[in-house]
Amino acid sequence: MSNNYFDYIIVGGGIVGLATAYKLQLKFPDKSIAVLEKEEALGKHQTGRNSGVMHSGIYYKPGSFKALNCKNGHHQLIKFAKENNIKHDVCGKIIVATDESELPLLEMIYQRGVENGTEGISFLNQQEIKEREPFIEGIKAIHVPTAGIIDFVQVCKKFGELIHQINPKSKLITSCEVVKTNSDFAEKEVITTTEIFKTNTIIFCGGLQSDRLAAIDNLNLNIQIVGFRGDYFELTKEAEHKIKHLVYPVPDPNFPFLGVHFTRMVDDSIECGPNAVFSFKREGYNRTSFSLKDTYQALTFSGTWKLFFNHWKKGLGEYHRAFSKMAFVKALQKLMPSITVNEVKSARAGVRAQAVDAKGNLIDDFKIYKHNGNVHVLNAPSPAATACLAIADEIVKEIVTLKN
């Protein structure tokens, strides 16, 4: 067998791809696996640029792929972190209503949590909110004790180490971009910028590039990935004492985004954000980032324009916050009226891969397809990082059915 043959090839070195490689290696320890990552390091995009939150599963529609896999994945992730000394903290969070009009939505979220089996949730009154977060102003909140924080890039690195320990023939290959695949032969070809690999099965976990990877595998889709950039601010050292745990607003039910929130990170810094604006570059992390290819593809897709038309008012508000620090702080002041412009500073940004259909609908659930004897993860936004090990279990099941 040639040196460039692997029993399984996984395209994408983010947390879903690496969790899948890890679970696949546990299932088939004698099989060789290659993870191909186009960047020079693992977790450079969504994995390393999200809020680092381990979600509890309270928000998601009962019975959905998100709801089922988030809770399962959450338990698996915490167990994995404890066993492998990965820095994490199950610090809990509160979801805060600041206005009477938000109470019905808060109640709906609570009922979803009950149906999803989210452990330990309870309502907090105004005084109890203050006892937990003295600088937060709210009339009612949900306390979610199982939510926490973790370093997802560290998790990725540990997956990589364990894969190689189980089977030294398996490899993580970075700076290796997949440009074409050929599934017409008994041994499939994966053509990259560095060499041609051969395999029996390809698993595509390409995140922001997932629809394009589907296209090179000749999978016709009625959805497209549209990037939404999220800008973060962080509290200054002098203001970090104002947040103890995780604090979220009541989210807009029409969007799969959770609103501008406060997150205590594993290094004890406090992030604020993110917003959610259309990104003119899928992997563009500055407010002025632009790619002609990405913009053309997004704006020639009818679903993008329908999305804009249906939610133009929301979009304008998000853009205003993206370019105005004062507007961003005003959104934070809804939860923390005492916060000032001088207490926040610009931080990093991330881009979320969101699948949109031709009617302009945001695809809310995870989407996994089988095609040509391969597996494609087409939509895996939040809470995919939390749910990565459970999603990996689902993918391994699909691969087993392909073999039978």
Q: What is the CATH number of the domain that holds 43?
A: 3.50.50.60
In a domain, 345, yes or no: yes
Please report the pLDDT score of residue 1 as a whole number: 43
In a shared domain, residues 160 and 174: yes
Paired tokens of 55: 């979600």
> What residue numbers bound the domain in which 157 lies?
5-47+153-222+364-403
Please report the pLDDT score of residue 255 as a whole number: 66
- Please tell me the distance from the alpha carbon of residue 28 to that of residue 201, in angstroms, as a whole number: 13
In a domain, 384, yes or no: yes
Domains of the chain: total:
2
* pLDDT in single tens digits along all 404 residues of the chain: 457 999 999 999 999 999 999 999 999 999 999 999 999 999 999 999 998 999 999 999 999 999 999 999 999 999 999 999 999 999 999 999 999 999 999 999 999 999 999 999 999 999 999 999 999 999 999 999 999 999 999 999 999 999 999 999 999 999 999 999 998 777 899 999 999 999 999 999 999 999 999 999 999 888 999 999 999 999 999 999 999 999 999 987 666 566 789 999 999 999 998 888 899 999 999 989 999 999 999 999 999 999 999 886 777 777 777 788 998 999 999 999 999 999 999 999 999 999 999 999 999 899 999 998 999 999 998 999 999 999 999 999 999 887 65
In a shared domain, residues 315 and 393: no
Nearest alpha-carbon partner for 217 in 338, 373, 99, 45? 373
- Look at the chain and count its residues: 404
In a shared domain, residues 202 and 341: no
Judge contact between 276 and 230, C-beta under 8 A: yes
In a shared domain, residues 270 and 208: no
The H or E element that residue 67 is part of is helix 65-83
In a domain, 383, yes or no: yes
Judge contact between 210 and 379, C-beta under 8 A: yes
Judge contact between 121 and 113, C-beta under 8 A: yes
- Please tell me the distance from the alpha carbon of residue 48 to that of residue 153, in angstroms, as a whole number: 6
- Please tell me the distance from the alpha carbon of residue 379 to that of residue 58, in angstroms, as a whole number: 20
In a shared domain, residues 214 and 282: no
In a domain, 86, yes or no: no
Paired tokens of 179: 């440009």
List, in order, residues 6 or more apart from 27 with CB less than 8 Å away. Answer: 396, 400
In a shared domain, residues 342 and 312: yes
pTM for the model: 0.95
In a domain, 105, yes or no: no
Paired tokens of 1: 């067998």
In a shared domain, residues 351 and 274: yes
Burial of 312 (0-12, 13-18, 19+ CB in 10 A): exposed
- Please tell me the distance from the alpha carbon of residue 389 to that of residue 77, in angstroms, as a whole number: 7
Please report the pLDDT score of residue 302 as a whole number: 94
In a shared domain, residues 325 and 385: no
In a shared domain, residues 328 and 265: yes
In a shared domain, residues 351 and 272: yes
In a shared domain, residues 168 and 192: yes
Opening angle at CA 68, ends 378 and 356, nearest 5: 30
In a domain, 127, yes or no: no
In a domain, 67, yes or no: no
| Order of all β-strands in the sheet with 88-89 | 53-54, 148-150, 88-89
In a shared domain, residues 189 and 316: no
Please report the pLDDT score of residue 127 as a whole number: 97
- Please tell me the distance from the alpha carbon of residue 74 to that of residue 147, in angstroms, as a whole number: 9
In a domain, 90, yes or no: no
